[in-house]
A and B are shown apart, each in its own frame.
Chain A
Amino acid sequence: MNLYEGMFLLDNQVVRADWKSAKNLVADLVKKNGGEVSTIRRWDERRLAYAIRGRRRGTYYLTYFKAAPEAITAIRHDFELEERVLRYLVLRVETLPETEVELAKAELVEGYTVPPPPSDDEPLPVEEPVAVVEEAPAEIVEEVPSEAGTEA
């Protein structure tokens, strides 16, 4: 059994429904393949550096788990198929960071809440700015012949 660090980027639509069940979604997939979850916590909710499947924002979950090296292939495969997980990264680590246990425990305390993700992860309305730009020259084009007609 080796210790692994896994970072998972989840779709905000799943997190908005219930951020704890989103946590279980990750933990269950690890456990299903014989992994043993040491810690799991919500790492951050932030704007993505680039859009993934039309999503502009996402929530990151950071987990440390023990698993046999052979199980990692199966775990990767499962996350590959899971559509609610936009990106994942599994790395082997030597030791569990000390602060990680406390941070994960803090989330389990009754009454611990996180703000709901901002509604910014919808695909950007690309059409709107284009439409505004098109309207402006169209008006000018209409005016120019009319002026030319009055002058003549």
Chain B
Amino acid sequence: MAEYSKSSRTPPPPIATRNCDDPRIDYKETVYLHKFLTPQAQILSRKRSGFCTQCQRQLKEAIKRARHMALMPFVN
């Protein structure tokens, strides 16, 4: 078996761990939210964002609201 950890396919470490009272998950905080987008402006998976279920859901809502208001892109 190939050693997964040594290969280039090693998944990148999670971007953030967050306490669930952080008020920055808001559609107006576009600079912060941009950290959780891929270069193509897809939302990062929970594995890569490092968020818990509730935080990830808030993140998803916030980014989608920001997209609706043209604060963040749908695609890059």
A62 to B68, CA, bound (A): 15
What CA separation (Å) do A87 and B69 show in the bound complex? 6
The majority secondary structure among interface residues of chain A is strand
The answer to whether A58 touches B65, judged by C-beta atoms less than 8 angstroms apart, is no
Q: Is A108 part of the contact surface with B, judged by Cβ < 8 Å?
A: no
Contacts of B71 in A (CB 8 A): 46, 49
B25 touches A (CB below 8 Å):
no
Asked if A60 CB lies within 8 Å of chain B CBs, one says yes
B70/A87 in contact, CB under 8 A: yes
Q: Judge whether B32 is part of the interface by a CB distance below 8 angstroms.
A: no
CB of B50 within 8 A of chain A? Answer: no
The smallest C-beta distance from A46 to any residue of chain B, in angstroms, reads 8
Whether B73 lies near A9 (C-beta < 8 A) is no
Taken together as a complex, chains A and B put the C-alpha atoms of A94 and B43 apart, in Å, by 27
Q: Is the CB of B68 within 8 A of A87?
A: yes
Interface residues of A in 31-75 (CB under 8 A from B): 43, 46, 48-50, 52, 58, 60, 62
Asked if B70 contacts A9 (CB within 8 A), the reply is: yes
In chain B, positions 8-59 with a C-beta closer than 8 Å to chain A are 27-28
Bound-complex Cα distance A46 to B70 (A): 10
- Decide if A3 is an interface residue (CB 8 Å cutoff): no
B47 to chain A minimum Cβ distance, whole angstroms, is 26
The reply to whether A52 and B70 contact each other, CB–CB distance below 8 Å, is yes
B68/A49 in contact, CB under 8 A: no
Q: Chain A residues near B69 (CB, 8 Å)?
A: 7, 9, 60, 87, 89
For this complex, 26 residue pairs linking A to B, each with C-beta atoms less than 8 Å apart, are: A7-B27, A7-B69, A9-B69, A9-B70, A46-B71, A48-B70, A49-B70, A49-B71, A49-B72, A49-B73, A49-B74, A50-B70, A50-B73, A50-B74, A52-B70, A58-B70, A60-B69, A86-B70, A87-B68, A87-B69, A87-B70, A89-B27, A89-B65, A89-B68, A89-B69, A91-B65
9 closest residue pairs by CB, A with B: A48-B70, A49-B73, A49-B70, A87-B69, A49-B72, A89-B69, A50-B70, A52-B70, A7-B69
